[in-house]
Amino acid sequence: DTAVSQTPKYLVTQMGNDKSIKCEQNLGHDTMYWYKQDSKKFLKIMFSYNNKELIINETVPNRFSPKSPDKAHLNLHINSLELGDSAVYFCASSQRGGYTFGSGTRLTVV
Amino acid sequence: GENVEQHPSTLSVQEGDSAVIKCTYSDSASNYFPWYKQELGKRPQLIIDIRSNVGEKKDQRIAVTLNKTAKHFSLHITETQPEDSAVYFCAAGTNFGNEKLTFGTGTRLTIIP
C-alpha cells in the first residue's frame, strides 16, 4: 500500500501545453510538498502546504499552481509548459521530521 | 535563507572500506538534519536523521555526526557493500523538519567490488 503516490509517472508533452500532476498520501501527515529535481539531481522546494494551507511558495513562475483539496492531496498544475520545465517532480509529506517522497513524475517538454 | 553545501560530489570506495560525506549549513536556526539515499530512477529515501540536541547517531553500518558550533554534519558508512551505491543527499531544516528542508547538491557514491 503506497504511502505517497503520484500520477502520472511519466509525462511527455509539447511546449505551450497545460498539464497536471496528482499526489496523494495515506500517512495522515499534515504537511505536503512539491520538489523539483533537475538534470544535475539538485532537489529544490517549490511549494509546501500544511493542512490545506499554502505555507511556502518559493520563487516559482506563476505558471505553476498548486492545489490542495484536502490534507491528503496536493496537486500541481502547470500552464504554458516550457522546455526548462523538464525535470522530475517529487511530491512528499511529513509529520514531525523526515519526508516520505512519492515515486516522482518525469516531465519531458518537447 | 538556509544554504547547504555537500562534499564530495562523487566518491568511489572499495567494497568493505568506509565512506564519509560532509555537509555544512548556514542557518544557526536549523535543528533537523536528515540524510537521504536515492538509487537510480527511484525516490529519495530517508536513511538516518539527527536533531540538534544530539551529537551522534548510529544505525548499524551508518552513523551521522553533528557539530553545531562549526555548523557541519557528516554521514559515515562502514563496511560498504555494492548496494550502498547511490546518490546521497544531506538536508537541513528548522522546526524539526516541519518546515522546508534545504538539500545539499548530492554525492554519487560508487562501491567498487
Chain A: residue whose CA lies nearest to B87: A41
Band the pLDDT of A72: cuts 50, 70, 90: very high
pLDDT higher than 90, residue A56 = no
What is the spatial distance between Cα B71 and Cα A101, in angstroms, rounded to a whole number?
26
What is the spatial distance between Cα A50 and Cα A56, in angstroms, rounded to a whole number?
9
- What would the mean pLDDT of A47-64 be, rounded to a whole number? 89
DSSP β-bridge partners for residue A62:
none
Shortest distance, CA A98 to any CA of chain B (angstroms): 6
pLDDT higher than 70, residue A43 = yes
Measuring CA to CA, which residue among A32, A10, A100, A104 is closest to residue B40? A104
CB contact under 8 A, A101 and B44: yes
Contacts of B98 in chain A (CB under 8 A): 31, 94-97
Task: Provide the mean pLDDT of chain A.
Answer: 93
Q: What is the pLDDT of residue A109?
A: 97
